[in-house]
Structure 1
Amino acid sequence: MPKATTAGHVSTPVVTPRLLWTALTVVAFMLLVTYLVAFDQGAVSQSGMYLHELMHDGRHLLGVPCH
């Protein structure tokens, strides 16, 4: 018969500076991508038609109105 265990030390998750920096970087990158795809409308993506069309198709894929 297994022994009954008592509630002992409960560990709490540790947020290291590296983990925090990585999480903030990922969130900032995703916000930038969301802006470029959903709201840019070609203001930043002036480098060529390929990038503009990629963002345009991304808007249609996500259901964001663009016309």
Structure 2
Amino acid sequence: MSQASIAVPRPVPVRIPLREILPWAVFVGILAVVVLYFVSTEEGATALFSGGYVHEFVHDGRHLLAFPCH
């Protein structure tokens, strides 16, 4: 019994130009900084909103990310 070999085509990687990735990378970076601000420092010395609503909303996330809040 002989084995027949089948030619399997190799996948060709697609090149994505930097001009297409850069706006999305900037958007995700800004979004990450905003989320990090709300989780880490909101309701502290630099609070943008009065009341404790933001603090209570992200309270468990603070502890999950090891940010002390009380």
TM-score range, shorter chain: 0.5 to 0.7
* Alpha-carbon RMSD: 2.9
Normalization by structure 1: what TM-score?
A: 0.58
Structure showing greater radius of gyration is 2
Looking at both structures, which has the greater relative contact order when contacts are Cα pairs under 8 Å and sequence separation is at least 6?
Answer: 1
The offset of 1:65, in angstroms, is 1.4
State the partner residue of 1:21: 23
Identity of aligned residues (%): 36
Give unpaired runs (5+ residues) of structure 2: 8-12
The offset of 1:2, in angstroms, is 6.8
The offset of 1:64, in angstroms, is 1.3
Equivalent pairs counted in the alignment come to 63
More helix by share: 1
Give unpaired runs (5+ residues) of structure 1: 4-10
The CA distance in 2 between the partners of 1:17 and 1:44, in whole Å, is: 36
The offset of 1:25, in angstroms, is 0.6
